[in-house]
A and B are shown apart, each in its own frame.
Chain A
Amino acid sequence: MACFLIPAAEAVITTIVTKVMRSKEANPETVKVQLDGEEPVEAEKIPFSRKLGWLNKLLWGGSALLAFEHVWHGEVVPWFPFLTAVSDPAEAAEMLNEMATAGVAMAVLVTAVWAGMLVVSSVIEKRAKKALPAES
């Protein structure tokens, strides 16, 4: 009914956090890695704000496409109050229940997948550093 509003709200918050972090971030850390399996090269580690950007894109993209699905089903309309369920108290209660269950679960799953991506990227970064031949 309006479950996409929860991930969309999270997207608003994470986008603001990303912008604030980006403005405060210092110069990125430079490391030596083998990017193509040949000579080690100097490379910049991507900052956390960029990784937070992944979550933003997942949340915004998913919310936008889900919003379209709700328009398709007539649950979202382009005129006030935009959500058809709001006009009926019983339907409004059902909508709030769906937001609290499915909506929150969506936001949690997307965030959990992103957290998994952070773990994997951290492992890849560490492995890339370890794979370097010992400097003579």
Chain B
Amino acid sequence: MTLLTTVFAAVICTVIWYKGAPKSEMKVGVLCWMYWGASLMWLVDGIFEYAELHAEYFTPAPTDMLNDFYLGLSVVALGLVIWLIILLVKDPKGVIKAALFRKKN
């Protein structure tokens, strides 16, 4: 469920990035890399788990599934927070700078 949640986040971010490309004013690319990196790593985790549990891997207990989904959402939220910090620090649109400095007449 964590893998699935991250893959969906990665796909959505990639579509948003592609729509805005080649301009990257919102730095959505950062989110794409982060979510795809995590998705690949969780895919490996999933393969190892499948090798251990076989078909049982696809029929998790509802509580496990809910907990994994909760974890997936938390991971997506953490990714968004990291992206927001990078966006505000890099400030590609100069919004923060404009808020801090006022032009002299």
Contacts and interface: CB of A to CB of B under 8 A. Distances in A.
Interface of A: 3-4, 7, 54, 57-66, 68-69, 72, 101-102, 105-106, 109-110, 113
A61 B80 CA distance: 11
B37 A68 contact: no
A46 B47 CA distance: 35
A54 B78 CA distance: 20
15 contacts: A54-B33, A57-B30, A57-B33, A61-B35, A61-B36, A61-B37, A63-B37, A65-B35, A65-B37, A65-B38, A68-B75, A106-B41, A109-B41, A109-B43, A109-B44
Given A7-B41, A110-B37, A65 B6 contact: yes
B24 interface: no
Interface string B51-65: 000000000000000
A21 to B, nearest CB: 19
Contact of A68 (B33, B36, B78): B78
A105 B44 CA distance: 7
Contacts, number: 76
B71 interface: yes
A66 B44 contact: no
Contacts of A3: 41, 45
Most chain A Cβ neighbours within 10 Å, of B43, B44, B79: B44
Contacts of A54: 33
Most chain B Cβ neighbours within 10 Å, of A7, A58, A61, A102: A61
B81 to A, nearest CB: 11
Contacts of B36: 58, 61-62
Interface residues of B, number: 24
Interface of B: 2, 6, 30, 33-45, 47-48, 71, 74-75, 78-79, 82
Q: Would you call the interface of chain A mostly helix, strand, loop, or mixed? A: helix
B89 to A, nearest CB: 15
Contacts of A68: 74-75, 78
Given A3-B45, A69-B2, A105-B44, A60 B37 contact: yes
A62 B44 CA distance: 12
